[in-house]
Structure 1
C-alpha cells in the first residue's frame, strides 16, 4: 500500500481507507440508529456537548476564532491541468518529489490573507524551502516528480471564514504547464478553549472527532473523521447545533470484549445539519476545541 501524506501543521498522515457512512442530524439528536449506545450514555454525551457550546458562547476563544485564519482544505494544490499519468499521481501521493538545484530565499516576511468580504489579515510568510519540505518528503525509487523552479503568487482556499485569497509558492514541475501550489502563510494559533477536555472513553463513552475532511458554508452536510478500534462496529457521530457553534460528539458502536489488535481505524462519517454551516465554529465535545481540517484515514498501529 502506498503511503499518502497530507498536511495539517506539518503532520504526516496515512492513506485513505475510510468509507463514508452513519449520519448525524439535528439539534440534540442521535446520528443514525440510536441502537449502538444506550440512552443514559447518550444523555451524558449530550450534556457534555451542551457544556462545550455554553462555554464557547460569547467567549474570548470564539472571538479569536472569528478573527483568525484557519485553512479548511489541503494547503498543497496539484496542477490545475491534472496529472499526466498514474505514475505522476502516485509520485505526488507518495510525496516522492525532488528538486533541481537550490530554491531561492526571500526578503518578504509577511503575506496578506483576504476574504471575499474585504476583510484582511497579515500572516507570516514561510520560505520557499520550508514550503517545499511540506509536500516533498521522500526521495525513493519508483515514480517521482521534479521541481524545476518556484515563484511567489497566490491561490484561493476554504477557511473557517469562507473562501480566502492567500499568497502561495508556485512550484514548476518538469513537464507541466501549470504549477503545484503551496499556501505560503501560516495559520493562526488555535485559541485556548474556555473549558477543559475530558478523557477518551469517559463521559458516556465519548470519543474524539479527529478532523474535518469536507465542509461547505452553504451546505447542511459535514464530512468528518472519526476513530474506532478493531473490535467494534464503527464510529457514531452526533451533533448539537446552536446559532454560534456546532458541537460534534462521537462514540463507537458494538464494542466487543476479548483479544483485540492495538490499532486505531479512521473513517469518514457524514453529519447532517438542520441549518447551513455558515460561519459557525465546529467543536469537538471531547477536546472542546475547534475540529481542524485533516485527512487522517485508514489504520494506524498502536
Structure 2
C-alpha cells in the first residue's frame, strides 16, 4: 500500500500556516472524550482478535532489526551515510566458522544455529561507496583547488579538508550477547560486535541464523476503518519499564496530538487522537513521538497498533 510522503519531526512541532481547526459541539466526533471512547472500543476489538501462533511463546520472534547499537555511535553526516548504505572495509581477519548459540529469555532458554562472523559481515557489507564529485578520495587530503600546507604525521592538512565518501573501517570482531526485545520479553541474544574505527560503539549484528527466526504473525484488523480523529502508531521508539515511547502517524496540520493507551493483562494497544484542520493542507505524514505510562511494566506483553492490530517493533536507528 502506498503511503503519503513521510517526515520525521520532534515532539510537539506542528506545521505553520494551516487553516483554523473546526469547533465541534461537546460529544461530537472531534470531542476528546468521544475520541477516547472510540479508541477504547476499537482497542478492545484489536486485543480480542490477537491470536498469535505457538512460535510467539516458544520460538524466537525478534521485535528489533538484526543490526543494533548498544550505545550512541556518535555519527557524523558521513559516517551515518556509510552506515545506512552498508559501506564497510575490514582490517582484521573475520572467521567463517559456524557455531550454535543460546538465547536467554525471561521464561527460559533456546539453542539455535548461528551465522559465522564472516556471514554476519556479508550481511552488513552492501557495497563500496559511490563517487563523490569534488570530494577527496582519501581522508585528510585537500579538497581539489583548496590551499594546502606541508604534510604532517596524519597526511596533508588544509583549511578546506573534508571527510571523503569512505566506508566504515572494521578493526575488530567479538562474540557476545546483547539485549533484544522479542515476543517473549527482553532476551539476551548472541551477536557479533564489529569494532568500527570511526564510531564510538560497535556495530552489532545479531547472530541467529535467518532460518531460526520466526516471523511476526499477521495482524487481524477490525473490519471498520479507523474513526476520524484517531491515528495509528507506526512503531516503538523506546521501552523503559512501564514507559513506552511510540511514534504516531499524524497529518501535517493536525493539532491536539494526544497518545492513547489500552492496557490488558496480556496485551497493550496504543494509538493517538488529533484535531483535524479544515481547508487545504499538504498531504504529508509526520512521525510524532509520544510517551505513555502503563499501570505495570510492559514485560512480555505485545504492543499492538490500534489501526491495524499489528505488533509494534522497535524502530531502527
Q: Same fold (TM over 0.5)?
A: yes
State the shift of 1:77 in Å: 4.5
In 1, Cα distance between equivalents of 2:303 and 2:277: 31
Q: Structure 1 residues 188 and 109, CA, compared in 2 at 3 Å: closer, same or farther?
A: farther
TM-score by length of 1: 0.68
Three-state SS of the structure 2 residue aligned to 1:48 is helix
State the shift of 1:209 in Å: 0.5
In 1, Cα distance between equivalents of 2:33 and 2:180: 37
Is structure 2 residue 204 aligned with structure 1 residue 214? Answer: no
State the shift of 1:269 in Å: 0.3
2:56 pairs, out of 61, 65, 80, with 65
Is structure 2 residue 188 aligned with structure 1 residue 196? Answer: no
Is structure 2 residue 10 aligned with structure 1 residue 18? Answer: yes
State the shift of 1:183 in Å: 1.6
1:246 pairs, out of 243, 252, 268, with 268
Q: Structure 1 residues 55 and 123, CA, compared in 2 at 3 Å: closer, same or farther?
A: farther
Is structure 2 residue 301 aligned with structure 1 residue 280? Answer: yes
Q: Structure 1 residues 190 and 104, CA, compared in 2 at 3 Å: closer, same or farther?
A: same
Task: For 1:258-269, list aligned pairs within 5 A.
Answer: 258-269=279-290
2:252 is matched with 230
Structure number, greater radius of gyration = 2
Is structure 2 residue 203 aligned with structure 1 residue 171? Answer: no
2:124 pairs, out of 132, 142, 152, with 132
Structure 2 unaligned spans of 5+ = 1-5, 14-28, 133-162
State the shift of 1:145 in Å: 5.2
Q: Does structure 1 conserve the Cα–Cα contact (< 8 Å) formed by 2:235 and 2:312?
A: yes
In 2, Cα distance between equivalents of 1:285 and 1:191: 16
Three-state SS of the structure 1 residue aligned to 2:43 is helix
What's the RMSD between the two structures over aligned residues?
3.8
Q: Structure 1 residues 37 and 91, CA, compared in 2 at 3 Å: closer, same or farther?
A: farther
Aligned length: 258
In 1, Cα distance between equivalents of 2:36 and 2:70: 45
Q: Structure 1 residues 65 and 170, CA, compared in 2 at 3 Å: closer, same or farther?
A: same
Q: Does structure 2 conserve the Cα–Cα contact (< 8 Å) formed by 1:147 and 1:174?
A: yes
Structure 1 unaligned spans of 5+ = 1-13, 22-34, 297-302
